[in-house]
């Protein structure tokens, strides 16, 4: 009987020591965070996801600080002519002209599930044009699947300028990509010149 008690006592001590050791080892290990669904990065497909008209009206209204009724008309025209854009650029630009004009701008390209890209643009214009101005520009981008496709020279499309509720829009096209810059405060300048804009990764002093 005494032998059995000694064995039981020794077994109890061993179990206690093992439990204490296991507890100390567990406390020394880094805590494991649970993996929840949806925490992995999104893997975009080959085709860019388009923006709805409501999304664009909301983004443009926030950017211009204008009532949605004022910008909705010109965006409606762009959607009717081109469909849903796959990206947009928000930025500012300065321009001036005495017959021959220059335009410089800077902004950021936004696309769903794509990295945001900084964009510069510059270009000449010619026509019955006189004056200088600075403006905010919100450019709808059609046919762009990857952000780097914006870095290209885009000629203006003759006769593509429209004015709705103080906003002006015109179209630029190259390689099946259409850009539709929307500007405020452009007055008569946008309606009296033709030219192109070169969109680049860095600022260029020369517009040519």
What's the pLDDT tens digit per position in 52-110?
999 999 999 999 886 666 788 899 999 999 999 999 999 998 877 666 678 899 999 99
What per-residue confidence (pLDDT) applies to 45? 61
In 3D, which of 86, 91, 92, 76 has the Cα closest to residue 169? Answer: 76
Q: Does domain 53-200 have CATH number 2.40.128.480?
A: yes
Which residues have C-beta within 8 Å of that of residue 193, sequence separation ≥ 6? 97, 101, 125, 126, 127, 128, 129
Alpha helices in the chain (DSSP H): 2-28, 53-64, 68-82
pLDDT band (50, 70, 90) for residue 198: very high
Whole-number pLDDT of residue 70: 74
Domain boundaries, the chain: 53-200
pTM greater than 0.85: no
Higher model confidence: residue 19 or residue 125? 125
């Amino acid at each position: 009987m005494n032998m059995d008690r000694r064995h039981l006592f020794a077994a109890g001590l061993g179990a206690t020591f093992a439990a204490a050791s296991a507890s100390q080892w567990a406390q020394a290990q880094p805590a494991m965070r649970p993996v929840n669904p949806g925490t992995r990065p999104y893997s975009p497909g080959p085709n860019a996801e388009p923006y709805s008209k409501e999304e664009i009206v909301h983004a443009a209204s926030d950017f211009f600080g204008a009532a949605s009724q004022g910008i909705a008309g010109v965006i409606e025209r762009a959607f009717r002519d081109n469909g849903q854009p796959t990206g947009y650029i928000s930025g500012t630009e300065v321009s001036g002209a005495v017959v021959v004009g220059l335009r410089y701008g800077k902004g950021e390209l936004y696309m769903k599930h794509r990295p945001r890209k900084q964009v510069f643009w510059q270009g000449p214009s010619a026509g019955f044009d006189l004056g200088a101005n600075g403006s905010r520009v919100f450019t709808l981008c059609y046919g762009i699947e990857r952000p780097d496709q914006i870095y290209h020279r885009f000629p203006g499309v003759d006769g593509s300028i429209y004015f709705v509720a103080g906003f002006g829009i015109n179209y630029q096209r190259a390689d099946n990509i259409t850009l539709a810059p929307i500007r405020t405060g452009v007055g008569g300048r946008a309606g009296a010149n033709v030219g192109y804009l070169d969109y680049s990764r860095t600022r260029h002093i020369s517009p040519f």
